[in-house]
């Protein structure tokens, strides 16, 4: 336990620092999403069935916080704690219980609600009838247009891009193998996985159309 504590602290510190920087730059740039995606990618490496030293495994597994798992997940209580699947590798069971999509990525719905609330606030403050100050009106209207009207879906998917693709593809082997919450879980995995695939392609197409010949 003593050897695990320092590596977990390091993981938490790094992720919290990245999230704070991202929060400060959210209204101006999406550049801080990239370090968070790198941390998510490093975390997913601990799920690969390859022997690593204990300190490295604890460090990588501690980066689970990069998936924003500390945010309220409305769906985690709907699934039993023991893995319902027989074919989940031991490395995943040790760190994540299993690869149920909503258990690991369900916090994205809370982020969606928060972003929609922010969008509504900025939409209201970007109204000339409400915001009389010219400088603040210009700021709120510009942020509302650039970040929320055109980038909101891209930002949300980008925050969870690595977990969506990893757990989405993992869920494909058990997409609709049970009724109720498991079918809903499979449908959400499929929808978000399609978004994760389509959005980058759409951005490349738009960039190619706008780029000079």
Distance from C-alpha of 87 to C-alpha of 106, rounded to nearest angstrom: 22
7: in domain: yes
Whether 48 is in a domain gets the answer: yes
Q: What is the mean pLDDT of each run of 10 residues along the chain (213 residues)?
A: 53 62 53 72 77 75 82 86 78 80 90 80 72 70 67 77 90 83 91 89 78 57
Q: Which of 64, 78, 52 minimizes the C-alpha distance to 166?
A: 64
Structure tokens at 90: 């031991």
Domains: count for the chain: 1
Does the residue 53 lie in any domain? Answer: yes
Looking at residue 188, what is its pLDDT? Answer: 93
Tokens of 117: 């609330």
Helices 54-62 and 33-45 meet at what angle, rounded to 10?
A: 140
Alpha carbons 137 and 143: distance in angstroms, whole number: 10
Is 148 inside any structural domain? no
The structure's pTM equals 0.73
| Residue 113 in domain | no
Q: Are 98 and 113 in contact (CB under 8 A)?
A: no
pLDDT value for 39: 81
Helices 181-210 and 161-171 meet at what angle, rounded to 10? 130
Longest CA–CA separation in the chain, Å: 62
For residue 26 the two structure tokens come to: 């959210």
Whether 31 maps to a domain, the answer reads yes
What pLDDT does residue 78 have?
87
**What would the two tokens of residue 39 be?**
């941390």
CB 88 within 8 A of CB 37: no
For 17, the domain range is: 1-67
- Distance, in Å, from the CA atom of 155 to the CA atom of 34, rounded to the nearest integer, reads 11
The whole-angstrom separation of Cα 91 and Cα 42 is: 14
For residue 54, is it within any domain?
Answer: yes
Do the domain assignments include residue 4?
yes
């Amino acid at each position: 336990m003593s050897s695990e504590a320092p590596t977990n602290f390091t993981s938490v510190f790094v992720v919290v620092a990245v999230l704070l920087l991202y929060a400060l730059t959210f209204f101006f740039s999406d550049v801080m999403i990239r370090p968070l995606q790198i941390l998510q990618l490093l975390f997913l490496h601990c799920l690969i069935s390859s022997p690593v030293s204990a300190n490295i495994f604890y460090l990588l597994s501690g980066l689970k916080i990069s998936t924003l798992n500390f945010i309220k997940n409305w769906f985690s209580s709907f699934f039993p704690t023991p893995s319902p699947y027989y074919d989940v590798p031991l490395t995943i069971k040790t760190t994540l219980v299993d690869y149920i999509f909503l258990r690991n990525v369900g916090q994205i719905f809370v982020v969606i609600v928060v972003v929609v609330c922010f969008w509504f606030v900025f939409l209201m403050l970007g109204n000339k009838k409400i915001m009389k100050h010219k400088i603040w009106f210009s700021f709120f209207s510009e942020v509302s247009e650039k970040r929320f009207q055109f980038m909101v879906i891209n930002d949300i998917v980008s925050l969870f891009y690595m977990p969506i693709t990893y757990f989405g593809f993992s869920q494909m082997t058990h997409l609709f193998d049970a009724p109720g919450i498991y079918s809903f879980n499979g449908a959400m995995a499929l929808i978000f996985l399609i978004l994760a695939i389509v959005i980058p392609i759409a951005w490349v197409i738009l960039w190619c159309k706008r780029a000079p010949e």
